[in-house]
Amino acid sequence: MRSFPKRKGNLYNGSMTFENLLTAFYRDENRSLPWRNEPDFYHVFVSEVMLQQTQVKKVMPYYQRFLAAFPTVESLASASEEKVLKLWEGLGYYSRARNLLAAAQTIVVSRKGKLPGTEAELLSLPGIGIYTAHAILAIAFHKKAIAVDANLCRIFCRLTENTEADLAKQKESCEAFFRDRLKDSDPSVFNQALMDVGEQICLAHGVPHCEQCPLSSLCRAAVNKSYEKYPILRKNIAKKKENWTVAVLSYKDKIGIRKRPSSGLLASLYEFDSLPGILSEVDLRKALRKQGFSVKKLRPLGPDRQVFSHLNWNLVGYAVELTRNPASSSLIFVSPETLESSFSLPSAFLRYYRRRKQEV
């Protein structure tokens, strides 16, 4: 987290209005983020899609590489899905990348380059929901809109000591609360100031930095020291668990990969040979023989875990050197250079590839 300057008390108090407190805070403390340098539609669009369910720190290098490859919506629209997915490799939630490409193509082809400037137009694009639409409207087009996410709901619930547990009702009340307080300020500054407060100050875990918050003088939870009670959270539903064995097969210095189905989890990405269950070396050798593979050498790559929004994978990996490549195999064998430059591997498989590479 960014370290704020040491102060004797909070400077953001007194007779300042709610929005003026936020404006002053943003003027003094706003984060230096690459997409804030050019806050036009395309830059905000790409950054907000990347930031969905992903931390700012992780997004920044991806954003910069993505913009270097596709500096305009037109260049993105003409890109191949393979190249887009390769640049997205390791960022997760790959449907975002495919939707980003599809939205760019819709803008350039169907809309003939006309940018979507209304909520309805934005929501008609693939992968754009209410939050992203409102963020684009406010930040890129300076229109009065509030981008409501979990961070903003947390700020709202603490400001008001709101006890509503129903997420839909909580979001509705949250949007109305902040929209009512956005009167004369630039919606771009107003929303981005709240984003900075939610991500750096009004923290979900641990003690929030109330002494640095521009809104602490107006916050009931800060005054009453009740911040840990808010927001009221619903009980988490237990995630489904699956066990998989990942076999990184190699033959004559080439690596075996296959394309996953075009729909479902990790659609259209590439994977190594994956077998259900946590297999021992003996069991893996037997399973590979049934597939027609002849194993020359097998080396453990250790356990791992991949967490999805609705599912957890427990994994064990092996590096497997083959004596031959059966013609019936569904794998294609490519050089490490080609794999690294042209094929996108999800994080679960990419980590095993890197382990194998380090130990060769």
280-301 exposure pattern, b = at least 16 Cβ within 10 A, e = fewer: eeeebbebbeeeebebeebeeb
Q: Name residues whose C-beta falls within 8 Å of residue 247's C-beta, 6 or more positions apart in sequence.
A: 272, 273, 274, 275, 284, 288, 317, 318, 320
Select from 102, 165, 171, 164 the least CA-distant residue to 134: 171
Q: Is 74 a catalytic residue?
A: no
Which residues 6+ apart lie within 8 Å of 163 measured at CB? 230, 232
Which runs of consecutive H residues, i.e. helices, occur in the chain? Answer: 18-29, 34-37, 41-51, 56-69, 73-77, 81-88, 95-105, 119-123, 130-139, 150-160, 167-181, 187-200, 220-224, 281-290, 336-342, 347-359
Catalytic choice (19, 48, 89, 175): 48
Q: Which residues are catalytic?
A: 48
